[in-house]
A and B are shown apart, each in its own frame.
Chain A
Amino acid sequence: MKFIKQLRESIENNSKQNALCVNGVFYTYQDFAIEISKIRNAINNTISSSEKLIGLVTNDDLQTYASIIALWFEGKAYVPVNPSSPIERNNQVFELTETKYVLDSSKTSIYKELNVIATSSLDEVQVSLSPKEVSDNDLAYILFTSGTTGLPKGVPITYKNVDALVNAIDHEPEFNLNTSDRCLQMFELTFDFSVVTYLFPFLAGACIYTIPKNTIKYFYIFKLIKEQRLTVLTMVPSIINYLRPYFPEINAPDVRYCSFGGGALHSDIAKEWSDCLPNCKIFNYYGPTEFTVYSGFYPYHKETHLKSHNGIIAIGTPQKDCSYLVVNENNEEVPLQVTGELCLGGPQVTPGYWKNEERNAESFFVKSENGKDVRYYKTGDLCFKDESGDFLYVGRADFQVKIRGYRVELAEIEFHAKEKSVKKVNMVALDITNKLGNAELGLAIEGESFDTEEIIEYMKTKMPDYMVPGHIRFVKEFPHSINGKIDRKKLRTYFDIN
């Protein structure tokens, strides 16, 4: 596997360079190689070669990153769980994937029912980075996203998928990392965007800078940009929304690349942000978890590349080997300028949701193109293609929303809220925009008000914190539209949060 080979070479060739900076402490590629080798040794001594899916508790430390690389060098896949998510949800993820082993760098592990490899207290061994053989369809990781039925939805990604991603980015002449780059890694490792923020720097021998868990991340990011003179930023647009009141105080001439993804980038804020980064190329990336992070980008420039629709910057063109198709409800391609659902084909598409045939039948289809069958993933995003071949984002086709960059199915929140409620009343989860322009979650409950503490506490045990509604409103009678559906737009007006 090409990217695994590249990864090994990069770690070996850059042993004196810094690989990670965690909470002010630097680790070199040599330190990284030692940790990787220790973890590989433990894996070899404990886990049988047929056991492929291995749990990973995503702490913010050297061992957690080394665990990912160790698993890849062993030809296995990581199944990450966030230590701040409810243990019940994390156990659900392990049950769904039949994971029996977990790599955990915590002082004491809470996963008593699994076989735990405590990665922070392993024996010293000889450095060994020679990777085991893997085949194209072996899995590299499985990430879980919000699902409609209350069960999280697994997205497995193969080695071939990741290799195709790396190949496509390597092919892009506008983006080249090198050993002197200092790169922001602000994402939780259960979030697919993290794959590009650790993998690309590691492949280039660059250094990643993580965000400690208990800090105010917006200010910590600024501190890193200023004090560590970061050169590469990868972020979700909501970060700059929160920093926006302070833009006049930000001037970061060292930043050379800033990539956005995981949500709509608005043109007004992109222009203002671009003024803070005088020497920077800005990329507006697009891509879902199901298509291995990125599928393409638009090269934004405040003077020359400003294409947008309804104030949202274009998502540009597909990257190498990827194809975009805009379709109607019968999966037929629509003409230029006509809005339809964006579908993605190519070597980066997931083999399908984990053990979910029903969902797979809905989300994927095969189209014959020039005598070849191409499998497409339906993104649920509405887009159109313009005359010069750029794709423009219009909105979501369903009730999935983005909260802090995470995809959230509103139906999952409603499911858990209703499940616990003694009163069987209508409940609707809504995304509400706060005054900083970011989406927050609200829960509208029909009828007379009652104490919701128990429902909220219950939701906290079932879902990650970003999915628990921060605002609750009681509405005597829900407004309805002409065709009898609950009028979500009108319901939103009950949430005066600004």
Chain B
Amino acid sequence: MTRDEILPKVKLAFVAVLEHDNFELTDATTAEDVDGWESITHMMIISEVEKAFNIKFKLMDLMNMNNVGDLLKTIESELH
């Protein structure tokens, strides 16, 4: 699965948790840029993404995830 295929699915997970789609996701996007994305919703988004791709993140990866780019990279490596 390429990044271009991953991104729309990730966006769907964000929309499902945040209950709005008033944002754009790029590699540089952080919680600061998206309304409602904070500690609690982050945990829900992570679990939604895990479900969508049928993967399980490692705590060590989550610990160092700082933006959407990091998230996409981790999904890619989990899928391989």
Contact = CB atoms under 8 A, between A and B. Distances in A.
A249 B59 contact: yes
B19 A471 contact: yes
A222 B19 contact: no
Interface in B54-77: 58-60, 62-63, 65
Interface of A: 214-219, 222-223, 226, 242, 245-246, 249-250, 404, 434-436, 438, 440, 465, 470-471
Nearest to B43: A242
A219 B62 contact: yes
A222 B40 contact: no
B41 to A, nearest CB: 8
Q: Give the dominant DSSP class at B's interface.
A: helix
Nearest to B44: A434
Contacts of A219: 59, 62-63, 65
B32 A470 contact: no
Interface of B: 19, 31-32, 36, 38-44, 47, 58-60, 62-63, 65
A438 B41 CA distance: 12
B63 A223 contact: yes
Given A219-B62, A245-B47, A470-B41, 5 more contacts: A218-B39, A242-B43, A249-B60, A435-B47, A465-B38
Contacts of A440: 40
B47 A216 contact: no
26 contacts: A214-B31, A214-B32, A215-B39, A216-B31, A216-B38, A216-B42, A217-B39, A218-B42, A218-B43, A219-B59, A219-B62, A219-B65, A222-B59, A226-B63, A242-B40, A242-B43, A245-B47, A246-B58, A246-B59, A249-B59, A250-B59, A434-B44, A436-B47, A440-B40, A465-B38, A470-B41
A436 B59 contact: no
Nearest to B56: A245
Contacts of B47: 245, 435-436
Contacts of B59: 219, 222, 246, 249-250
Nearest to A223: B63
A310 to B, nearest CB: 25
Contacts of A470: 19, 36, 41
B36 to A, nearest CB: 8
A404 to B, nearest CB: 7
Nearest to A211: B39
A465 B63 CA distance: 24
Nearest to A238: B40
A222, A434, A470 — which one has the most chain B CB atoms within 10 A of its CB?
A470
A187 to B, nearest CB: 13
A471 B19 CA distance: 8
Contacts of B42: 216, 218
A222 B31 contact: no
A80 to B, nearest CB: 20
Contacts of B41: 470
- Which 10 residue pairs are nearest across A and B when measured between Cβ atoms? A246-B59, A249-B59, A217-B39, A242-B43, A219-B63, A216-B42, A223-B63, A216-B39, A219-B62, A222-B63
A434 B60 CA distance: 24
Contacts of B44: 434, 436
A444 to B, nearest CB: 15
A249 B19 CA distance: 31
A250 B60 CA distance: 10
A197 B65 CA distance: 27
Contacts of A404: 40
A303 B44 CA distance: 32
